[in-house]
Chain A
Amino acid sequence: MPFRRPRFVHGRILHNSGHGIFYRMEVSIPDRIEFVPGQFAMVSGWPGNDPLLPRPLAIFRAGGARGKGNVEFVYKVVGRGTALLSGLHEGDPLRITLPLGHGFDLGAEDRVWWLVGGGVGFSTVFPAAVALEAQRADLEVFLGARTRDQLPPKEWIPGSGVPGRAHLCTDDGTAGFYGRVTDAVRERMDGRKASERARLTILACGPREMLKGIAELALPLGIPVQASLENHMACGFGVCWGCVTAVRDGEKTGYRRVCKEGPVFDAREIVW
């Protein structure tokens, strides 16, 4: 049986290769997992105590057969931990806790899904795109990056061959829409009738400023936004209380854990 509840497993790297600024790493694990798009794993593999903590990585894909699983991650080098991960090779051991967190809710029917990924945020929304495609749902993908080289390779985009599926945006205009992904979403929304807008649901992952922009754009129009947040985490499974984000709690502000109640939140809850 594939597992859904979090487990700590020892894995082995099958491959770990660079694609532009991104790394794609596949790992064999002792069993098959079932995950909800938007869920993540805590990953470490370097020897010794420094850096101390594992790194949260979105689960990009999972597969395998009975009694033997594999899981794939896409990541960008942002600090020492991910730099050390990028230096690991085929056969190297990894320590992984997965699957973790609350993922995207893809249950609603007859929706038009817009998936927005900023920077490496695509690694969180692509699994949702794959799941929605399997449901034959109506979806479009918006991808933002600073420049052309920082967009994911085209062949990684689920259904990249489908006309009108992917909207690429760059801050410097070197590819696709010239400007921020938020502006591309706004333009596309402006061209839609109210009846079409009423069917939209947005799933987004990226820098907090981007998520805030999407929320400010969509929420006043009544368009639901599921936002996947990032934060520094110590444990990833809800016990350190280090990764909280401010949320509306009645009249007051409360704190919820990005790793447990998140990383995917209803954007209306978040104090941006």
Chain B
Amino acid sequence: MVIPAVTPDLTARVGSVVLKNPVMSASGTFGYGLEFSPFYDISRLGAVIVKGLSLLPTPGNAPQRIVETPAGMLNAIGLQNIGVERFVSDVVPRLADAGATYVANIYGRTIEEYEEVARRLDGVASLAAIELNASCPNVKEGGIAFGSTPGGLSTLTRRVRAATGKPLWVKLSPNVTDIGAMARTAEEAGADAVTLINTLVGMAVDCRTRRPLLSNVTGGLSGPAVKPVALRMVWEACKAVKIPVVGIGGIQSAEDALEFLLVGAAAVQVGTANFRNPNACVEILDGIAGFLVRERVARLEEYRGTLRL
């Protein structure tokens, strides 16, 4: 007789990074992590992915920055952030104190800036990995310029790869024709993992005032509306590469997260759901554990990538 696991083993491996569970917060939806400390112990998460960091503090776009759309939202924040120096001096010690596993999402206006930010983070002992934002759609030089062609992505990944010894995850844009080819490009250029999807470029206008609803005119679509697209792209990326794929896009529940793991994702990131419910990540985590217990799966690894076709 098989004794069902009471506490399933949720360990997730993203390359050399071993996570206590597969649930991470997505960059740009979780601040610098500490904002969630009033709600729960952030060390419970597989990892916290902090808001995109640039070399210098960045003011971001003028308001209006967000607009709600059917089962989703558009944002054009413009990567407002405190800059890598203040992150290292002010935030890193507090994240380390909180016992959080954390990953820094980085971006630059030029490849040199990306390299500089990566180098600055290289010596931060408690940092688990660097996530390269090659896909922000809201800033001209915020990654999409590098991330939308295989040539640009390859050069960027190679250069940043050479600038840091940290595990390097490359966050891919869904605004491309062949996501598998882009994932392969990142893999060949030395990425330790790919994370996807970033937001889909969208637009909202007011038919009466005849004006766009975002000051940036276009923005990035996120939320449940993008989940089917994200799931398909994660599935395709999983088939295209040998490195781990981290699934992101519209995850609102444990079931949503399990779907990404089922198609082969090594782990997931929860984004927009954090806005609706600050406890979303831990509720999803508890839900995954409960599901595995009910399904009598002792280890997450046994469930992952078992899609029946």
Chain A residues at the B interface, C-beta cutoff of 8 Å = 5-8, 44, 49-54, 95, 97, 231-235, 237-246, 252-255
Give me 19 other A-B pairs in contact (C-beta within 8 A), A242-B75, A252-B59 excluded.
A50-B71, A52-B71, A52-B72, A52-B224, A53-B68, A232-B68, A233-B66, A234-B66, A234-B275, A239-B29, A241-B51, A241-B60, A241-B65, A241-B80, A242-B65, A242-B77, A243-B65, A244-B60, A255-B80
Closest CB-CB distance, B182 to chain A, in whole Å? 27
Q: List 11 A-B contacts (CB under 8 A).
A: A8-B279, A52-B276, A53-B275, A235-B278, A239-B35, A241-B60, A242-B65, A243-B66, A244-B60, A255-B60, A255-B62
Q: Which chain A residues border B30 with CB–CB below 8 Å?
A: 239
Q: Which chain A residues border B218 with CB–CB below 8 Å?
A: none
Closest CB-CB distance, B308 to chain A, in whole Å? 27
Contact call A240/B276, Cβ cutoff below 8 A: no
Closest CB-CB distance, B153 to chain A, in whole Å? 26
Contact call A239/B223, Cβ cutoff below 8 A: no
Chain B residues at the A interface, C-beta cutoff of 8 Å = 28-31, 35-36, 38-39, 51, 59-60, 62-68, 70-73, 75, 77, 80, 223-224, 252, 272, 274-279
Q: Which chain A residues border B224 with CB–CB below 8 Å?
A: 49, 52
Interface of B is mostly: loop
Contact call A54/B276, Cβ cutoff below 8 A: yes
From known contacts A7-B38, A52-B68, A237-B35, infer whether A97 and B62 are also in contact, taking CB-CB under 8 Å: no
Contact call A238/B35, Cβ cutoff below 8 A: yes
Q: Which chain B residues border A253 with CB–CB below 8 Å?
A: 59
Q: Which chain B residues border A243 with CB–CB below 8 Å?
A: 63, 65-66
- Contact among B67, B77, B272 with A232 in the assembled complex (CB-CB below 8 Å): B67
Q: Which chain B residues border A97 with CB–CB below 8 Å?
A: 277-278
Q: Which chain B residues border A8 with CB–CB below 8 Å?
A: 39, 277-279
Contact call A6/B38, Cβ cutoff below 8 A: yes
